[in-house]
Each structure stands twice: as C-alpha cells, then as structure tokens.
C-alpha cells in the first residue's frame, strides 16, 4: 500500500511569512496526526483528527497554527505568521481506527524560518 505522502519536503521562509503543509494519509486510515519535531527532540503532537473532526488540539498554538482535514482524507497545516522557533520537521501520520493501531509516518516537511 502507498505510504503517507507529504509536501513539500523542504521550505525556507522569513519570519512573519505564512506557510502551508499538505498531507495525504494511507487509504482507509481514519485517524490523522500532525507532529512537530524540533532538532534533537522527539515528535510532539500538534493536532489529531478522527475522520474530519478534531479530537485533540491541546498543544496547537492556535494564535498562529491552524489545520483542517476536509472530507476526512487530505489535511493541511498552516502557520501564519511564522516565528524563528517554528523551525522544525513537521510530520504527518495516519492510523486505522482503534487503540492498538500503529501510526504510519510520512517523510516530513523540514521548515527553516530565517
């Protein structure tokens, strides 16, 4: 089966600019996650969708970050305006519905804010 697709792979922007990331999960996976991974750290959950509804966005900086998952498939994550500390790899993952389903990750988007 095809894996989780993310684009772009790399993005360089200046602070205060906006940026958007796209994710296409594995077909049939109801749950979609966005994680932020800062260099040298483990991934941190930003937001989780179950189909097209948000189930956890407690760690999403809502003053600048937004995400949507239209029609319960593809998802976009947006940052507006970006700050220097947003430089990180943004990972999208998906899983089947159910507690014991492993997360499958995409290759991520590496964001550099200058």
Partner 1 sequence: SQELEQSPQSLIVQEGKNLTINCTSSKTLYGLYWYKQKYGEGLIFLMMLQKGGEEKSHEKITAKLDEKKQQSSLHITASQPSHAGIYLCGAAGQGLGYSTLTFGKGTMLLVSP
Q: Interface with partner 1 by CB under 8 A: which residues?
A: 4, 31, 33, 40-45, 48, 50, 55-56, 91, 93, 95, 97-108, 110
Determine the Cα–Cα distance for residues 91 and 3; give it in Å rounded to an integer.
13
Q: In the complex with partner 1, which residue's Cβ is closer, 24 or 48?
A: 48
Q: In the complex with partner 1, which residue's Cβ is closer, 66 or 105?
A: 105
Q: In the complex with partner 1, which residue's Cβ is closer, 30 or 81?
A: 30
CB of 24 to partner 1, least distance (A): 13
CB of 87 to partner 1, least distance (A): 15
CB of 9 to partner 1, least distance (A): 9
Residue 42's φ and ψ, nearest 5 degrees, are -80, 160
What DSSP line would sit under 4-57, residue for residue? Answer: -EEE-SEEEE-TT--EEEEEE--TT--EEEEEEE-TTS--EEEEEEETTEEEE-
- In whole angstroms, what separates CA 101 from the centre of its chain? 19
């Amino acid at each position: 089966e095809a894996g989780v697709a993310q684009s772009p792979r790399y993005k360089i922007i200046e602070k205060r600019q906006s940026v958007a990331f796209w994710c296409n999960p594995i077909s049939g996976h109801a749950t979609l996650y966005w994680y932020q991974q800062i260099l040298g750290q483990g991934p941190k959950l930003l937001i989780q969708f179950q189909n097209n509804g948000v189930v956890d966005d407690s760690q999403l900086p809502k003053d600048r970050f937004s995400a949507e998952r239209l029609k319960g498939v593809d998802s976009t994550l947006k940052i507006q305006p970006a700050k220097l500390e947003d430089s990180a790899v943004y990972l999208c993952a998906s899983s089947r519905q159910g507690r014991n389903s492993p997360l499958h990750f995409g290759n991520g988007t590496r964001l550099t804010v200058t």
